[in-house]
Amino acid sequence: MKLLKTFVILVLIVAIFGGAMFALNLYTGPIIAKNSAGAANDRLNSVMAGGAAYEDITATLSDLPATVTAVHKETSGLGYVIEATATSDYTGGAPMDILIGVDSTGVICGIQLVSHSESLIFGADYPSTYIGKDSALAGVELYAGSTFSSTAFKDSVSAALNALAANNLIAAGVKGDDQILTEMIPTVAPGFTKLLEETASGNIQKAFQAENGAGFAYIMTAGEKSYLAVVNAMGACKVYDTEGNDVTADNAALADEAKTDAAAKQAAYLDPFKSKIEKMMEGAADITPITLDTFNSVVSAASFTFEGATYYAFYSRSVGFHQMDIYFIIDANGAITKMDAKQFIFEEEYFMAFGGMDVTAYKDGFVGITGDTFTGEEVIIATATMTSNAVKQATEDTFDAFNALKGGAQ
């Protein structure tokens, strides 16, 4: 009886409140539904002002890069909103989530970094430097102090816009000559890290210095045409036209102007390098500097004699977690005789957890390796990936320089 009564009371209460909720739902239901639809639109509207409704057209597009996760079309024709991701060497748990709004003419009208787990992220106002740009992203720079993350961000945005252009949704942006030439620098001079802008004069429209001191790059004009001139730390110069052809031979005047400008600013690596060689191989004689037209991380090269045999020395300034100074001495047969570096690990700043390394054994591990037997295993320093990569680059660049030297000598 008690149970029955309790049951009846409960049923009554539940029925009354259920009814009340049903009634209230008639009022709140539509509002809630509208809110949740609005919330989805709000997210996209944050980069597309005034967007009314969106249609997901991801599935209809071809050849989307892996970084593009979704493409929404604003149904009234305002443009498109792209959801993209980006991953850099500094990405922690999850990739960056990026929301890009592109208007119907292909110009970025809004952009947002929605979430990220970068350990070094660019400033909050960096994405807004993309607004107003088309797929060429002319004038968009990387963010100093967060080069890896901003490069990944820029690449992702660029890939997303290019994909829309490739699908004929927007017009592809047109790149100016100097943008084409500037973007060419990493290809023709892979050893130049982080270009810092310098003062320009004469035919030089824009001048850049590689932060690692590996050389200079110049955007130059002669008549109507623009050229890219690169000068390495050893003083060699190459000139390229906008199509990427090596036109050094036809533009000796430009090359000389570039060389002169570079020579005035170039840090002197040769003298300290000479004394370094003498330290590494006591009794080295006839140290003769060599000029190579490689544009990698090798900043200085020299030949010398030691106990009657000829040796070659190379100085590479590749960048790991920090700027590195790495030296190689190679015998006439192309085998490493000695390897040294100013410092491998910058413990006080970074490697709090670093257990220490046997530097002598590490250096000795390089002895006898030639360009053909180098596997990349030799460079690995446990827990120090970026330093290992820098050593690897220095080693490869040195062998490339050696091959160029040998090729040139033949």
Positive or negative torsion for Cα 13, 19, 23, 25: positive
Residue 206: its H or E element: strand 204-210
State the nearest-atom distance from the C-beta of 137 to another protein, in Å. Answer: 29
Asked whether the beta carbons of 243 and 187 are under 8 A apart, the reply is: no
Asked whether the beta carbons of 295 and 185 are under 8 A apart, the reply is: no
Residue 232: its H or E element: strand 225-232
State the nearest-atom distance from the C-beta of 28 to another protein, in Å. Answer: 4
State the nearest-atom distance from the C-beta of 111 to another protein, in Å. Answer: 19
Q: Give the tokens for residue 347.
A: 């413990």
* Sheet of strand 68-74, all strands in order from the earlier edge strand to the far edge: 54-56, 68-74, 79-86, 96-103, 108-115
Asked whether the beta carbons of 383 and 354 are under 8 A apart, the reply is: yes
State the nearest-atom distance from the C-beta of 279 to another protein, in Å. Answer: 45
Q: Which is nearer to another protein, 9 or 53 (CB)?
A: 9
State the nearest-atom distance from the C-beta of 346 to another protein, in Å. Answer: 25
State the nearest-atom distance from the C-beta of 143 to another protein, in Å. Answer: 18
Q: DSSP characters for 254-309?
A: HHHHHHHHHHHH----HHHHHHHHHHHSTT-EEEEEE-----SSEEEEEEEEETTE
Q: Give the tokens for residue 333.
A: 């047969």
Residue 101: its H or E element: strand 96-103
State the nearest-atom distance from the C-beta of 55 to another protein, in Å. Answer: 24
C-alpha separations of 409 from 108, 111, 292, 406 in Å: 52, 53, 11, 5
Residue 391: its H or E element: helix 385-409
Q: Which is nearer to another protein, 42 or 183 (CB)?
A: 42
Q: Which is nearer to another protein, 34 or 225 (CB)?
A: 34
Q: Which is nearer to another protein, 38 or 244 (CB)?
A: 38
Q: Which is nearer to another protein, 92 or 407 (CB)?
A: 92
Would you call 344 helix, strand, or coil by DSSP? coil
State the nearest-atom distance from the C-beta of 14 to another protein, in Å. Answer: 6
**β-strands 285-290, 215-222 pairing:** unpaired
Q: DSSP characters for 148-180?
A: HHHHHHHHHHHHHHHHHHHTTSSPPPPPPHHHH
Q: Which is nearer to another protein, 20 or 131 (CB)?
A: 20
State the nearest-atom distance from the C-beta of 101 to another protein, in Å. Answer: 23
Residue numbers of the site for another protein (CB under 8 A)? 2, 5-6, 9-10, 13-14, 16-18, 20-21, 24-25, 27-29, 31-32, 35-36, 39
Q: Which is nearer to another protein, 39 or 66 (CB)?
A: 39
| Cα distance between residue 65 and residue 241, in whole Å | 30
State the nearest-atom distance from the C-beta of 145 to another protein, in Å. Answer: 16
Q: Which is nearer to another protein, 36 or 62 (CB)?
A: 36
| Cα distance between residue 132 and residue 123, in whole Å | 19
How big is the chain, counted in residues?
A: 410
Q: Which is nearer to another protein, 123 or 244 (CB)?
A: 123
Q: Which is nearer to another protein, 16 or 285 (CB)?
A: 16
Residue type, 109: C
Q: Which is nearer to another protein, 9 or 196 (CB)?
A: 9
Class of residue 179 by CB neighbours under 10 A (exposed 0-12, middle 13-18, buried 19+): middle
